[in-house]
C-alpha cells in the first residue's frame, strides 16, 4: 500500500475568453496551492479580492450552471474548470478570476486539461485524503432525478439521461477509468435546446453563447420567424423551420456527446465535496441542482466519518504474519500486541490485533468486566508504528524503537474480548537523525476507539 500524495500544479496558467452568460471578456488563472488548501476561487476584480471556498454549501444558484458565493462575491460557470482539476488529480489550487464567471472557452474541459498537462503536476508531502464509500448513499428529487453512490475500489460514474425529446431521447455514458477522462469526457461540449434559448435570453443569460462553444439542438418545431431570429443571433444562415436537427459548426464527436457532457458536469459538481472519492456514482437525469444536493449530502456523511477505518478482508494474505513480526520486533508474549500487518507504504501502515478473553491482562483488568488497558492500546499502536519505521532501515532486526514522547492521547470507547483492533499509523514527516513522529488511530469496526501522537527514536541493538 503505497501512500498516494496530494497534488498541485507545477506552475500557473491562464485562459482567456468570454463569459457564457455575461458575454464579458474574462481571464481565469490557476495557481499552485499548499497542502490541504483544497480549491479556492478569488475574485481579483473586487475590493479586497475576496476568496470563496469551492465547497457545496457555498453554491447559491444552479439554474444554468453552478454559482458559488461568499457575501457579495459570486462566480458562476465553474463546473468545467472544476471537473478538469478533479479528474486530473489536482487536490490544491487557487483560482483567480477577473469577473463574475469562468470563460466558456469551447464549451468543454479540453483547454483546462491541455493547460494542466502543459504546466505539469507535482506531488506534495501530505497524503491524499480519500473518502471511501462503504454503503449505498442515494438522493432523489421531485423531478425524477436520482444520484446513487455505491462502494467501489476506484472513482467511476455512469450517467443516464432522458431529454424528453423525440429527436434525442435516452442516452447513457460511463467513465470507468478516470485516466481516460482527457480523451473520452473532457472534449464533450455543452449543449442547449432551441426551445430553451429564448427563455434564457429573456432571463438575461447566454449573452456569450454561440456555435463555437455549444451544441444547439433544434428538435421541436417553432415558427419560421422565431427560427430566423435565432439564426441571426447565432450568426448562421437561416434554415427551414421544418427541418429539425443539430445547428452547429462542428459535427458531433460521439452520438452520446450530450450525456458525456452531463457526466463532465457531474464531476465538476462532485469536486465541491472537498475530498476525492472512491465509489461508483450512478446518476439518472442529472443536473446541477440534484448534483449539488448530492454533494451537500456527501459532505454531511464525511463530517460524520471524518476518520475512516481501513478496509480489512480476513481472507487476504497478510503482508506480515506473526512470525515475521517477531523477527522485527523484540516483543514476545504477553507483550507482542500486533498479530499481522495487512498493508504498508513508505509513510503508513495498517495492522491487526484480535483481542481474546485469554489475554493475561484481563485477569486483573477487570475480572468481572474485562477491559483492555488504555496504556496497552497505546503500546499496540506504537508497535505497529515501530514496524513501519524499522521497515525503512537496513537489517531491521538489529534495531529497536523507543518512546520519547506521547501526545494527544484520546480513548473513545472500551476495548473488550472479541474485538478486532485495526491500527492505522502514519508518519508525520521524514525520519531525521533516528527520530520519527507518527499519528496512530485504532478502530473497532468503523469506530475510532483510540488515537495518539508518538515521537520515537530508532536505536541500534547492542
221: helix, strand or coil: coil
Cell of 450: 483510540
Rounded Cα–Cα distance for residues 97 and 95 (Å): 7
Burial of residue 305 (CB within 10 Å: 0-12, 13-18, 19+) is middle
Residue of 441, 436, 460 whose CA lies nearest to 452 = 441
Rounded Cα–Cα distance for residues 17 and 366 (Å): 71
218 φ/ψ angles, rounded to the nearest 5 degrees: -100, 100
User: Catalytic annotation on 365?
Assistant: yes
- The angle formed by the CA atoms of residues 23, 25 and 31, to the nearest 5 degrees, is 125
CA dihedral 86, 200, 29, 70 (to 10 degrees): -80
Among candidate residues 261, 288, 305, 331, the one labeled active-site is 288
Classify residue 41 by its DSSP letter: E
25 φ/ψ angles, rounded to the nearest 5 degrees: -80, 125
Q: How many residues does the chain have?
A: 462
If residue 302 lies in a helix (H) or strand (E), which one and from where to where? helix 288-304
142: helix, strand or coil: coil
Residues 6+ apart with CB under 8 A from 319: 340, 341, 342, 343, 344
User: Catalytic annotation on 288?
Assistant: yes
Among candidate residues 21, 80, 365, 433, the one labeled active-site is 365
Do residues 18 and 203 lie in contact, with contact meaning Cβ atoms separated by under 8 Å? no
If residue 15 lies in a helix (H) or strand (E), which one and from where to where? strand 13-18
Measure Cα distances from 404 to 264, 455, 456 in Å.
Answer: 50, 5, 5
Helix, strand, coil percent content, the chain, rounded in steps of 5: 25, 35, 40
What amino acid positions are annotated as catalytic residues? 288, 365
Amino acid at each position: 500500500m503505497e501512500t498516494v500524495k496530494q497534488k498541485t500544479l507545477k506552475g500557473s496558467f491562464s485562459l482567456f475568453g468570454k463569459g457564457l452568460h455575461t458575454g464579458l471578456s474574462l481571464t481565469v488563472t490557476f495557481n499552485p496551492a499548499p497542502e490541504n488548501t483544497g480549491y479556492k476561487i478569488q475574485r481579483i476584480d473586487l475590493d479586497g479580492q475576496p476568496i470563496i471556498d469551492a465547497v457545496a454549501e457555498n453554491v447559491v444558484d444552479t439554474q444554468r450552471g453552478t454559482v458559488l458565493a461568499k457575501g457579495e462575491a459570486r462566480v458562476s460557470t465553474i463546473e468545467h474548470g472544476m471537473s478538469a482539476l478533479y479528474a486530473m488529480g489536482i487536490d490544491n489550487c487557487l483560482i483567480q478570476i477577473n469577473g463574475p464567471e469562468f470563460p466558456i472557452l469551447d464549451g468543454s474541459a479540453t483547454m483546462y486539461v491541455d493547460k494542466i498537462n502543459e504546466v505539469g503536476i507535482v506531488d506534495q508531502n501530505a497524503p491524499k485524503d480519500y473518502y471511501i464509500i462503504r454503503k449505498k448513499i442515494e438522493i432523489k428529487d421531485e423531478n425524477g432525478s436520482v444520484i446513487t453512490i455505491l462502494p467501489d475500489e476506484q472513482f467511476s460514474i455512469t450517467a443516464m439521461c432522458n431529454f424528453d425529446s423525440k429527436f434525442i431521447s435516452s442516452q447513457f455514458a460511463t467513465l470507468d477509468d478516470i485516466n481516460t477522462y482527457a480523451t473520452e469526457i473532457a472534449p464533450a461540449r455543452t449543449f442547449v435546446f432551441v426551445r430553451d434559448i429564448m427563455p434564457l435570453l429573456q432571463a438575461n443569460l447566454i449573452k456569450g453563447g454561440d456555435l463555437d462553444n455549444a451544441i444547439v439542438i433544434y428538435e421541436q418545431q417553432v415558427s419560421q420567424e422565431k427560427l430566423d431570429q435565432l439564426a441571426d443571433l447565432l450568426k448562421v444562415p437561416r434554415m427551414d423551420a421544418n427541418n429539425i436537427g443539430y445547428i452547429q459548426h462542428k459535427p458531433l464527436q460521439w452520438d452520446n456527446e450530450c450525456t458525456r457532457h452531463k457526466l463532465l458536469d457531474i464531476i465538476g459538481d462532485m469536486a465541491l465535496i472537498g475530498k476525492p472519492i472512491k465509489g461508483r456514482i450512478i446518476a439518472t437525469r442529472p443536473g446541477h441542482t440534484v448534483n449539488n444536493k448530492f454533494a451537500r449530502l456527501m459532505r454531511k456523511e464525511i463530517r460524520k466519518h471524518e476518520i475512516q477505518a481501513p478496509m480489512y478482508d480476513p481472507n487476504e494474505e497478510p503482508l506480515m504474519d506473526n512470525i515475521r513480526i517477531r523477527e522485527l520486533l523484540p516483543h514476545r508474549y504477553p507483550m507482542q500486541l500486533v498479530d499481522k500487518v495487512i498493508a504498508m507504504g513508505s509513510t503508513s501502515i495498517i495492522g491487526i490485533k484480535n483481542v481474546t478473553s485469554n489475554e493475561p491482562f484481563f485477569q486483573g483488568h477487570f475480572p468481572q468486566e474485562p477491559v483492555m488497558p488504555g496504556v496497552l492500546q497505546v503500546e499496540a499502536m506504537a508497535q505497529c508504528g515501530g514496524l513501519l519505521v524499522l521497515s525503512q532501515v537496513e537489517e531491521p532486526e538489529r534495531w529497536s524503537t523507543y518512546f520519547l514522547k506521547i501526545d494527544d492521547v484520546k480513548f473513545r470507547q472500551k476495548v473488550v474480548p472479541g474485538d478486532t483492533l485495526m491500527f492505522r499509523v502514519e508518519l508525520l514527516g521524514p525520519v531525521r537523525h533516528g527520530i520519527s513522529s507518527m499519528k496512530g488511530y485504532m478502530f473497532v469496526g468503523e469506530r475510532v476507539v483510540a488515537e495518539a501522537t508518538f515521537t520515537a527514536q530508532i536505536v541500534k541493538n547492542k
